[in-house]
Chain A
């Protein structure tokens, strides 16, 4: 069964550094998402991406965040200047369509900001 893959599985960085989290969505999917989950808290929407542009973003997704699909397969989340509170699990997801299609999640990147 096709999977969403994410790398790295764990990233440790110092406050103020830039990080790039990488995702390869399922190949025939058209909608891509980033979610985050702070330890012990709920899964929170960050951003959705379709047709090479952001379709929606949450209030969490401020100017320090950006997303890109640099080629036909990768989907990246960049955090420009990390803060301690950015420490969380970051999940990439994809769907073939919107709304009634369930999300297919990658296994996540655990980001630790020290």
Chain B
């Protein structure tokens, strides 16, 4: 089983739609969680950290479910500029090498 798994998509949704991505992780010792976005042939950019209580940043909401070992990202009122690949990232404090990236979920917003 992969350490971090994401639905590769692509998700193709109309502008203004709400879209949700899930990510599951296999190691229960994982301690930090992030969502990054990556545009084609560009570097990953931090979208938001994911906190145990859940957190929101504008149109973006991230949730963490430790019991089920999954993280979610909800995008409301999607914009054309949200089209990108969304990467789930999971890390363990004790090991720098254990900052593990999921393969990413591709999102395409259509007008």
Residues of A within 8 A of B (CB): 31, 33, 41-45, 48, 50, 55-58, 89, 91, 98-100, 102-108, 110
Known: A43-B87, A100-B32; 5 extra A-B contacts, CB below 8 A, are A33-B99, A42-B103, A45-B100, A48-B97, A107-B43
Verify A31–B96 contact, CB threshold 8 A. Answer: yes
B61 sits at the interface (CB 8 A): no
CA distance in complex: A31, B93 (Å): 13
Asked if A56 contacts B87 (CB within 8 A), the reply is: no
Report which residue of A50, A91, A100 has the largest number of chain B beta carbons within 10 angstroms of its beta carbon.
A100
Rounded to whole angstroms, the CA-CA distance of A42 and B49 in the bound complex is 20
Q: In the complex, what distance in Å separates the CA atom of A42 from the CA atom of B8?
A: 11
CB contacts (< 8 Å) of B103 on chain A: these are 41-42
B92 at interface (Cβ–Cβ under 8 A)? yes
A103 touches B99 (CB 8 A): yes
Q: Which of B32, B43, B95, B100 sits near A105, CB closer than 8 Å? A: B43
Name B's A-contacting residues (CB within 8 A).
31-32, 34, 41-46, 49, 87, 89, 91-97, 99-104
Q: Which residue of B lies closest to A48 (CB)?
A: B96
A103 touches B93 (CB 8 A): no
Q: Known: A42-B103, A45-B99. Contact between A99 and B42, CB under 8 A?
A: no
- B contact patch SS: strand
Chain A contacts of B99 at CB under 8 A? Answer: 33, 45, 103
Q: Could you list 13 examples of A-B contacts with CB < 8 Å?
A: A31-B96, A42-B101, A42-B102, A43-B44, A44-B101, A50-B96, A55-B96, A89-B41, A100-B91, A102-B34, A102-B46, A103-B99, A104-B46
Residue of A nearest to B43 (CB): A105
Instruction: Please tell me which one of the listed residues A33, A102, A108 contacts residue B96 in the complex, with CB atoms under 8 A apart.
Output: A33
Say how far B41's CB is from chain A's closest CB, in angstroms.
Answer: 7
Q: Would you call B104 and A99 a contact (CB within 8 A)?
A: no
Residues of A contacting B43 with CB < 8 Å?
A: 91, 105-108
Q: State the 9 A-B residue pairs at the shortest beta-carbon distance, nearest first.
A: A99-B93, A48-B96, A56-B97, A105-B43, A43-B101, A42-B103, A100-B32, A102-B46, A107-B43
**How far is B42's CA from A106's CA once the two chains are assembled, in angstroms?**
9
